[in-house]
Amino acid sequence: MTTPALVLSSVLFAIGVFGVLTRRNAITLLVSVEIMMNAANINLVAFSRVHEPAAMTGQVFALLGIGIAACEAAVGLALILAVRRRFGGTDVQSIDLLKG
């Protein structure tokens, strides 16, 4: 019953990992991380339906996660904005001040 949802979440997670590993643009990275998070949320909802549907714990948890993701996106975008001002772009490889 949950298999399609799990497959969907796996695919989304893989897409997110792929995005994080291959892209250099900070905004794309943020988007990829959000995708991975949503894959997790899908899992939460899917498993909640199987184990204790009446309690709706998974759904509540997913909503909470989405809320936190919004905050996270705000903070992340603020950071990216600061990075862009400081380094003149959003390429993560250019942020190398600590590299010896």
Where along the sequence are the contacts to other proteins (CB under 8 A)?
Answer: 17, 20-21, 92-93, 96, 99-100
DSSP 8-state assignment for residue 24:
-
Shortest reach from residue 92's CB to other proteins, in Å: 8
Residue 58, Cβ density class (10 Å: 0-12 exposed, 13-18 middle, ≥19 buried): buried
Shortest reach from residue 54's CB to other proteins, in Å: 31
Shortest reach from residue 100's CB to other proteins, in Å: 8
When computed from its CA atoms, the radius of gyration of the chain, rounded to whole angstroms, is 17
The residue (of 21 and 71) whose beta carbon lies closer to other proteins is: 21
